[in-house]
A and B are shown apart, each in its own frame.
Chain A
Amino acid sequence: MKAAAFRYHRADSLAEAGEMLTSLDNARLLSGGQSLMAMMNLRYVIVDHLIDLNPVSELAGISHHDDHFQVGAMTRQRCFLDDDAVAAHSPIFREALGYVGHLQTRNRGTVGGSLAHMDPAAELLGLAALTDADITLSGPNGSRQVAIAEFPQAYMTPDIKVDEILTAVRFNRWPAGHGWDFREFAQRHGDFAVVGVGCLLTLDAAGAIDRAAVVLIGVADGPLRLPAVEAMLLGMLPNADLFRAAGEAARHPEITGDALVTADYRRQLAAVMVRRSLTNAHQRAVQAMNQEHHHV
């Protein structure tokens, strides 16, 4: 199938894209096209106007700060795999982005497009949830920030108004020496995950967990943080029993089934994967601690 006819508009700046979005009816933004073009080719989506953000260079790039890093909406997904600074301070990004589609789709697909498309299994949404990210939207009356927890409104429906453009996302950094793990279960490499798990943790001097974040993707409308699991880890000395119990606590009631898998199957996967993910994140944190002692 082929896309239905529409008008194509090239935006050269954010301001120009904003004006077009406000003045044109039934218009859509085109970023990487890796979801939108496929939906248009299948005629799931029919638009009258397409506003191409690709020439808007002011929206692309990563800037690093002490406690966070800011990523422009038009930054390609592959940049997380190429950027050594991100790999150094937030290694979970490289591990997670390796699961996003294929080489072809990561070369074109953008960060903003992924967040705006809001597929329930999008790795970038999971990473945003894990790092308590803030999303910046630009509209006719200026810009506003939305916390990732407030961003998903319903299935594939983010808090973006029709005349707003997602311009950037601010991911918070975790302290040096944190443990991390991202893993997925999918039928084939590059498919959207049946279940994905991400976790971050830090250890105190005695080796007890003093901070933890755990997220599931692909299991609900948006990324699902697991505050109950995180709370039961705090202050605890890690061992196999603790991580097994944490996995059991990950069988969240909001986990849903779909045409291909049942909710119970997803809960079972979540239990096993959260246990393994925390175990690996803990090992990495211990390694980081040992390396630090070595350097002193």
Chain B
Amino acid sequence: MAKNHVTTTINGEPVEFLCETHETMLDVLRNDLGLTGSKEGCGSGDCGACSVMVDGRLACACLMLGAEAEGRSIETIEGMAAGEELHPLQKNFVKEAALQCGICTPGVLVAAKALLERNPDPTETEVRYWLAGNLCRCTGYDKIIRAVMDTAAEMRAN
């Protein structure tokens, strides 16, 4: 079957790719573009490990076709650090040990960054509600929430 030719923007860079119609955005990122930061936990929208930004909105890359990226702007975990300089959220995740196996971490970070961009001063309840689409089977969430709250406080202070 004919492949789709897609022109899109990924982490600010113009990107063109060819994909099979049935490939999800997540397949394209991981298998075709080598951006393996986004993870596949379920493929059904339940875990959030594949969370990316699509035109500035959080979405599950596993429930979107690669072909749907045409003309859109996609942001992934790979665009989060500025070169070697980690994003404040990433630093605080390390500091608080807010991860164990790490499979949920890229999705959680992308979701948390989206939250802080919209709401720099969230309550703990707001953080928990916002991150409800991201499952973590290791940490029990507490350290994740703490790392996000600390980052918010830090970013407000700067």
A-side interface residues toward B, CB under 8 Å?
1-8, 10, 30, 33-34, 37-38, 40-42, 50, 52, 54, 78, 101-105, 107-108, 189-190
Inter-chain contact B62/A107, CB cutoff 8 Å: no
26 A–B pairs (Cβ distance < 8 Å), ordered by A: A2-B24, A2-B43, A3-B22, A4-B22, A5-B20, A5-B22, A6-B22, A7-B1, A34-B60, A37-B24, A37-B45, A37-B65, A38-B43, A38-B63, A52-B68, A102-B48, A103-B130, A103-B133, A105-B45, A105-B60, A105-B133, A107-B57, A108-B63, A189-B129, A189-B132, A190-B133
**CA A104 to CA B131, docked complex, whole Å:** 10
Chain B interface extent, by class = 20 to 34
Instruction: Please report the C-alpha to C-alpha distance between residue A1 and residue B43 in the assembled complex, in whole angstroms.
Output: 8
Instruction: State the CA gap A266–B65 with chains docked (Å).
Output: 38
Task: Say if the beta carbon of B75 comes within 8 Å of chain A.
Answer: no
Total cross-chain contacts (CB, 8 A):
91
Interface residues of B in 20-68 (CB under 8 A from A): 20-22, 24, 27, 43-45, 48, 51, 54, 57-60, 62-65, 67-68
Chain A CB within 8 A of B144 CB: no
Interface residues of B (CB under 8 A from A): 1, 4, 20-22, 24, 27, 43-45, 48, 51, 54, 57-60, 62-65, 67-68, 70, 111, 129-130, 132-133
The prevalent SS among residues of B at the interface is mixed
Least Cβ distance of A181 to chain B in Å?
19
- The answer for the CA separation of A102 and B63 in the assembled complex, in Å, is 13
Nearest A residue (CB) for B66: A8
B45 near A104 with CB under 8 A, answer yes
Q: Which residues of A contact B62 (CB under 8 A)?
A: 37, 41
The smallest beta-carbon distance between A4 and chain B, in angstroms, is: 7
Kindly report which residue of chain A lies nearest to residue B67, judged by CB atoms.
A8
Decide yes or no: A2 and B44 within 8 Å by CB, A41-B62, A54-B68, A105-B133 being known contacts: no
Across-interface contacts of B132 in A (CB, < 8 A): 102-103, 189-190
Contact between A41 and B43, CB atoms less than 8 A apart? yes
CA separation between A177 and B27, bound complex, in Å?
50
8 shortest A-B CB distances, which residue pairs?
A102-B133, A8-B21, A38-B44, A37-B63, A41-B43, A107-B57, A3-B22, A104-B133
CB neighbours of B45 from chain A (8 A): 34, 37-38, 101, 104-105
Whole-angstrom distance between the Cβ of A185 and the nearest chain B Cβ:
16
Please determine whether B64 and A33 come into contact, CB atoms closer than 8 angstroms.
Answer: yes
Bound Cα distance from A189 to B128, whole angstroms: 10
Are B57 and A33 closer than 8 Å at their CB atoms?
no
Inter-chain CA distance A104–B59, complex, in Å, is: 4
Q: Which of A7, A38, A101 contacts B21 (CB 8 A)?
A: A7
> Could you say which residues of chain B place their CB within 8 Å of the CB of A54?
68
- In the bound complex, CA of A107 to CA of B70 (Å): 18
Whose C-beta in chain A lies nearest to the C-beta of B60?
Answer: A104
Q: Nearest B residue to A54 by beta-carbon distance? A: B68
In the complex, what's the smallest C-beta–C-beta distance from A117 to chain B, in angstroms?
13
- Taking a contact as CB atoms closer than 8 A, the residue among B1, B22, B70, B130 that contacts A2 in the complex is B22
